[in-house]
Amino acid sequence: MKPHVSAPYGISDDPLTGVEEAAERSEDDLWFLPGPIEDEPDDLPPVLRAEPRETAILDDWRKAEADNAARLARVAGRLGGLDERLRRGPEGWRHRLALIEAADLSWFVGDRIGADRLALWIALRLSGVQDDTAALARVGWAVRRLTGGPGPEVDLAAFVDRRDPENLAGEAEPFADRAGGWLDLMAQAADLHPISRACMGFHIWNLAGLGQHGDRMEAAVTSARIAASEGRGAIFAPLAMGGAGGLRASGRPADRLTRWLDGMETACLSAIRHLDDVEVWAARAEVEMTSLSGRTPKALRAALTEWPLVSAPIAETMTGASRAAVQRNLAWMEARHLIREVTGQGRYRMWRIAEAREIERRSNTNRPRKVSPNSSFEKKAG
């Protein structure tokens, strides 16, 4: 039998004390365990930190506007001049500029719809065998939105026709969600000038998830309407007339706004010069056509100022006159160098107004040449 060994005095007198000391020593040795929750760093998911990112985007565009204040003021003046011209001009001028802008934008987005094809599609819904009807429909949408209707910030989904059953019906709700984010960010930038806000809206279009279908046409037309939202005559600000360099997306917001302003200034000047030529032509045509009777000459002049290119079927539809009357007046105007045929073919011919310089050149060509009395011919005759 094993003899009993008694423990030293002090170890077994208070057993709880030994257990607590052992537990404390064990916890001190567990250095590898995480500390208390209140000492942990704030590792929240990135999705919860979207607001600072939006704030940074807005701050970048505010700084870009401040850096381009002088250029912005000059472009706003150009746009104001165009707005005044359109306010006091005939209604057809807006339609004419919208057709030109939409055709130029189609080249920017890669559809490459010419003015002649666009005119036939808008007026008569005619398309050729090789025409892309989807591209024509996109450009036709652009013409409708550039000529009137509620602005994009009223109802963006309706503005871009994303509610139509034929247009992405399954994407209605997702688009509404994405559009809401874009509109919220645009609303936060209400302190920016409309031209600067339009530039920002164009460049954050894809960031908001609105460019899944590669349709930059929607972004450009939406921004063109926003830039002219304070106008009384101009429904949109031209962006692509004279080149679409301002729509190039690269660089910092300051660089993008600089290109945007330069491109818009060029486009506004091109639009104003174009309207000057149309106004001069309309005055000259009215004087020369006073000898013609009936309502067809006046209606035909209005159609030629409203449409960049006109064919006989388009003129017949626009004027309500007979085909024979339209062709007779077109031939009369072409003979007097008021209009010029541009297709160079016997069928499907189209005409446009002749510019003042062209009319003057043709008039000088047809004018009899004056012979100087001191010429060699006069000497020989003498």
Q: Which CATH number fits domain 289-366: 1.10.420.10, 3.30.70.100, 3.10.105.10, 1.10.10.10?
A: 1.10.10.10
In sequence order, the 6+-apart residues with CB closer than 8 A to the CB of 316 are: 322, 323, 326
Distance CA 270, CA 254 (A): 24
Rg of the chain over CA atoms, in angstroms? Answer: 36
pTM of the model: 0.78
Tokens of 217: 């046409």
CATH number of 50-273: 1.10.3290
- Dihedral of CA 354/104/136/79: which sign? negative
Q: Using CA atoms, how far apart are residues 200 and 176, in angstroms rounded to an integer?
A: 20
User: Distance (Å, rounded) from C-alpha 279 to C-alpha 86?
Assistant: 11
The domains of the chain are located at: 50-273, 289-366
Q: What is the pLDDT of residue 68?
A: 97
> Tell me, what's the pLDDT at 100?
96
Q: Who contacts 157 (Cβ-Cβ below 8 Å, separation ≥6)?
A: 163, 172, 175, 176, 179
Q: Which of 212, 260, 176, 203 is nearest to 58 (CA)?
A: 203
- Containing 31, the helix (H) or strand (E) segment is none
pLDDT in tens, the chain (382 residues): 445 444 444 444 554 455 555 555 555 555 555 555 555 555 555 444 445 577 899 999 999 999 999 999 999 999 999 999 999 999 999 999 999 999 999 999 999 999 889 999 999 988 876 778 889 999 999 999 999 999 998 889 889 887 544 444 555 566 777 788 899 999 999 999 999 999 999 999 987 778 655 578 999 999 999 999 999 999 999 999 988 899 998 899 999 999 999 999 999 999 999 999 999 999 999 999 999 989 999 999 999 999 999 999 999 999 999 999 999 999 999 999 999 999 888 788 999 999 766 655 655 555 555 444 444 333 333 3
pLDDT for residue 381:
39
Q: Which of 285, 263, 268, 296 is nearest to 352 (CA)?
A: 285
Name which of 158, 307, 130, 259 is nearest 218 in CA terms.
Answer: 158
How much is the pLDDT for 163?
Answer: 57
* Strand ranges across the sheet with 339-341: 310-311, 350-353, 339-341
Q: Buried b / exposed e across 313-331, counting CB within 10 Å, b at 16+?
A: ebbbebbebeeebbeebbe
